[in-house]
């Protein structure tokens, strides 16, 4: 009899558990997010999923799917959904360089009224409105931004030019530093080519060259001004001095080569700078961008959230944008990703208020980036002005390849070709506000 009672009790508990699970399933909301080219390393994905997304799921009883794909695959995925009308994905996390494509193709919807927050200030100085908005209509909310910084192995400090300060370098001193590392200086024997400007197609080389150009007074995008030629001449001298790592053309970032010490010196995206520092904090130093005649130059970009057209869970998607721009969450997000710059003014103010002696490495890196934005010569990514931003990147990559041939005539012949290509990629009638 006891066994029968036990069996009946077990069956009842199983039924109760089943109905409880069914009930939870009915009340749990869903959200599908696609990251288009962001979170490229495993540790970034783990952090975002475990520390950011998981907390959102817990707070709002939401089941989130985060799909991390390349920019090419992400655009293809969204295009397939949009063209077929079989809407699955709710939010796209997109770089500012790709935002105009999403807007002009109708992949994202107007969220102006939905994100008119009164308790936070997003993109205070409108660095990114030309790509997040069309006129007064908002399609993306930027949640983080970035700049470029100098990254060096501490072993390289022994080769600094006389009188040079790593925190206050000129581009000429940067080039001399690269030469010294290769050939020797200050009584130290040279260690060969150790400088890297990653140049794999489709990535960051345009921003490295563009930042150098800004430092000499060039605009962005600019391929033929006298100011831009000052940057070319410096790169040409570095090529002639053979300071560049040969393998750099096969890499999109300097991270791996800095980690294995093939490279000791680079001008690097700040997220990647943070990743290098995270690897072995005691082995590397991160500093401000070098200066040119006009000052410190850096291209700045942003990552933002857009609600996709036809999103099946728009209300939940808007909750996620609200969550990601909340001061406490955004602070955790930006510092957790190595110190990328927050686009929320209240977060920036909080980071600045941290006493210097109490700042974490991530806070220090973010403050370096903030200083570049506030005191440097900066430019956003003007991708909205062009029909194909990746093709514009290719123009710079070809120019750099000509510079690496070590012949001034080669790159000078390429300049008018590059100019014609860039003009050909301009939109004839850019949309108002774009």
Domains of the chain by range and CATH?
A: 29-145+301-377 (3.40.190.10), 148-299 (3.40.190.10)
Dist. CA 51–CA 66, nearest whole Å: 13
Q: Which helix (H) or strand (E) holds 286?
A: strand 284-287
Average pLDDT over residues 171-176: 97
Tell me whether residue 277 is exposed, middle or buried, using C-beta atoms within 10 angstroms of its C-beta: 0 to 12, 13 to 18, 19 or more: buried
Residues 79-84: what's their mean pLDDT?
A: 92
Task: Determine the pLDDT at residue 7.
Answer: 53
Backbone φ and ψ of 69, nearest 5°: -135, 165
Check residue 278 and give its pLDDT.
83
Flag whether pLDDT at 51 surpasses 50.
Answer: yes
Spatial separation of the C-alpha atoms in residues 215 and 230, rounded to whole Å: 10
Q: Which of 57, 48, 60, 95 is nearest to 74 (CA)?
A: 95
Structure confidence by residue, pLDDT tens digits, 333-388: 999 998 999 999 999 999 999 999 999 989 999 999 999 999 999 998 888 889 88
Given pLDDT bands bounded at 50, 70 and 90, which one contains residue 218? Answer: very high
Report the share of the chain in percent with pLDDT over 90. Answer: 76
* Highest mean pLDDT pick, 12-21, 152-161, 247-256, 274-283: 152-161
pLDDT reading at 236 higher than 80: yes
Assess whether pLDDT exceeds 60 at residue 431. Answer: no
State the Cα–Cα distance between residues 7 and 2, nearest whole angstrom.
9
User: Confidence class of residue 4 from pLDDT cuts 50, 70 and 90?
Assistant: very low
pLDDT tens profile 304-317: 999 999 999 999 99
pLDDT at 10: 52
Lowest-confidence region among 12-21, 28-37, 155-164, 254-263: 12-21
Task: Give the helix/strand (H/E) hosting 245.
Answer: none
Quote the pLDDT of residue 25.
Answer: 46
Binning pLDDT at 50, 70 and 90, where does residue 272 land? Answer: confident
Per-residue confidence (pLDDT) for residue 19, from 0 to 100: 43
Q: Classify 358 in phi/psi space as left (phi over 0), alpha (psi -120 to 50) or beta.
A: alpha
Higher pLDDT, 272 or 219: 219
Average pLDDT along the chain = 90
Question: Residue 17: pLDDT above 80?
Answer: no
Residue 433: predicted pLDDT: 39
Which pTM does this prediction carry?
Answer: 0.85
**322 band by pLDDT with thresholds 50, 70 and 90:** very high
**Residue 249's pLDDT is what?**
87
- Kindly indicate the confidence band of residue 429, based on its pLDDT and cuts at 50, 70 and 90: very low
């Amino acid at each position: 009899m006891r066994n029968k009672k036990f069996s009946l009790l077990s069956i009842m508990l199983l039924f109760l558990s089943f109905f409880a699970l069914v009930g939870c399933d009915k009340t749990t909301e869903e959200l599908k997010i696609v990251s288009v080219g962001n979170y490229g390393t495993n540790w970034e994905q783990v952090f975002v999923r475990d520390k950011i997304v998981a907390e959102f799921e817990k707070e709002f009883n939401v089941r989130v799917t985060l799909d991390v794909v390349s920019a090419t695959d992400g655009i293809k995925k969204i295009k397939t959904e949009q063209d077929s009308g079989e809407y699955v994905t709710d939010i796209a996390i997109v770089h500012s360089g790709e935002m105009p494509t999403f807007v002009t193709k109708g992949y994202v919807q107007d969220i102006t009224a939905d994100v008119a927050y009164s308790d936070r200030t997003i993109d205070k100085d409108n660095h990114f409105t030309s790509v997040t908005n069309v006129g007064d209509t908002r399609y993306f909310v930027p949640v983080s931004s970035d700049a470029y910084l100098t990254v060096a192995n501490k072993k390289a400090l022994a080769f600094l030019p006389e009188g040079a300060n790593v925190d206050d370098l000129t581009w000429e001193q940067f080039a001399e530093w690269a030469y010294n590392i290769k050939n020797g200086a200050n009584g130290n024997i040279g260690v060969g080519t150790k400088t890297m400007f990653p140049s794999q197609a489709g990535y960051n080389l345009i921003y490295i060259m563009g930042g150098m150009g800004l430092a000499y007074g060039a605009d962005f995008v600019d391929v033929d001004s006298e100011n831009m030629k000052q940057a070319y001449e410096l790169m040409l001298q570095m090529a002639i001095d053979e300071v560049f790592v040969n393998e750099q053309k096969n890499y999109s970032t300097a991270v791996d080569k800095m980690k294995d010490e093939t490279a000791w010196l680079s001008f690097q995206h700040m997220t990647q700078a943070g990743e290098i520092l995270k690897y072995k904090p005691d082995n590397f130093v991160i500093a401000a961008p070098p200066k040119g005649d006009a000052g410190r130059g850096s291209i700045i970009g942003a990552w933002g959230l857009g609600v996709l057209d036809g999103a099946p869970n728009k209300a939940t998607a808007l909750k996620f944008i609200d969550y990601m721009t909340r001061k406490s969450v955004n602070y955790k997000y930006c510092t957790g990703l190595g110190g990328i710059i927050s686009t929320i003014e209240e977060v920036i103010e909080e980071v600045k208020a941290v006493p210097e002696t109490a700042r974490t490495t991530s806070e220090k890196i973010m403050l370096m980036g903030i200083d570049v934005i506030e005191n440097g010569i900066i430019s956003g990514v003007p991708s909205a002005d062009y029909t194909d931003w990746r093709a514009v990147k290719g123009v710079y990559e070809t120019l750099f390849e000509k510079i690496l041939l070590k012949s001034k005539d080669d790159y000078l012949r390429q300049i008018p070709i590059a100019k014609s290509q860039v003009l050909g990629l301009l939109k004839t009638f850019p949309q108002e506000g774009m």
